[in-house]
Structure 1
Amino acid sequence: MAEDAPGGPHFRFECEGPAPVCGIDEVGRGPWAGPVVAAAVILDPAAIPDGLNDSKRLSAPRRVELAAVLAARASVSVGIASVAEIETMNILQASFLAMRRAILGLASRPALALVDGNKAPPGLPCACRPVVGGDALVLSIAAASIVAKVARDRMMVTLAQQFPGYGWETNMGYGTRAHQEGLARFGVTPHHRRSFQPIHKMLCETASA
């Protein structure tokens, strides 16, 4: 079992609940384009990879490396909510939907889900405990943050190949200058979140021109 990193996420939360315990995190609430992606991870206490941390604190190559190790050593599942679902139910509910799908995709049903944030997603098939700042505190949530980030980044790189000019391969759909310039030049794609204010404003301006 990997030792807790000083000042980093630890395994104590998992030991407080009925086993098995999964960590859940999502990525992609803020971007202007692309799906929202969640991951659920049940760590094997005897085979926890070294170096797990909040995905934002890791380099992209290190995230990819750890995601591969987690796929081999842990029970891992990814859930996705599409742009159409984000538009239908709003980004928060779509994030919860992706989390439910991630849990349902696990090989074994967890007894407890530790979720990053301050809200428990409704309709989970197990007990749930929200943990504010969980990706920096709880090892299984940190693992989920890594898996979700790597999965979504790969999706956005693929979409960038289909819709070049928006910089999605580097900005992952966030509203960077390159993304704004792509919108001004090429317009809105089917993968843009039309209910998000910047995209909605652009569509309204185009319609009124």
Structure 2
Amino acid sequence: MKTQAQIAQIAPDEATRARALAQITGGVDRTDRMVRQLLDMTAAENPVGASDLPKQDGARILAEVAEGLSGLAAARGVVLVLGESALPWRTTQAALLAPALRNLMENAILASPPGGRVEARLDQQGDRVRFSVLDRGPGIGEADRPRATERFWRGPTSPSGQGSGLGLAIVTAATARMGGELRLSPRDGGGEQAEILLPATA
């Protein structure tokens, strides 16, 4: 970023200056995401006690995360669709659940082609609640699935220059702290389906 700032300062024309400024903007966005993910990972590994925290509605948490990512989706030409849910599930673990959902949705948006559609919804499956995020991106290759949740690992289908390889590791750590599990599977018709399964009695 410092190099690009220097280029912008001495740019001989407006086009060169604009390219340098665009590189700086992209670098700031990547750095911002990495710092946020490092903080999310720290929080997932060292959570505060949740017994005295107020319970928050799961569907509302999902909606707030989706709203926060609407700008990213629009910038990439991706449609973010939130399924309606009347499931009366509440949790004291919003500080873990929100970052986990954000990382799943962010990954899905970044993996989707322009004009693609990312769906997020909440429902119940037996004695567990299920948060699902579905996309039509390239998905995770079968050979890569065993490593997909490792820290700093990025598969060959990861968008160039995007991500730090921490997203799914954060989701795994946060979900485990909540007594649940992350389930990744190929989506029928192409793409990826990510599910966070949590006890319905949270």
TM-score for both structures, normalised by structure 1: 0.25
User: Which structure would you say has the larger RCO, counting Cα contacts within 8 Å and 6 or more residues apart?
Assistant: 1
TM-score for both structures, normalised by structure 2: 0.26
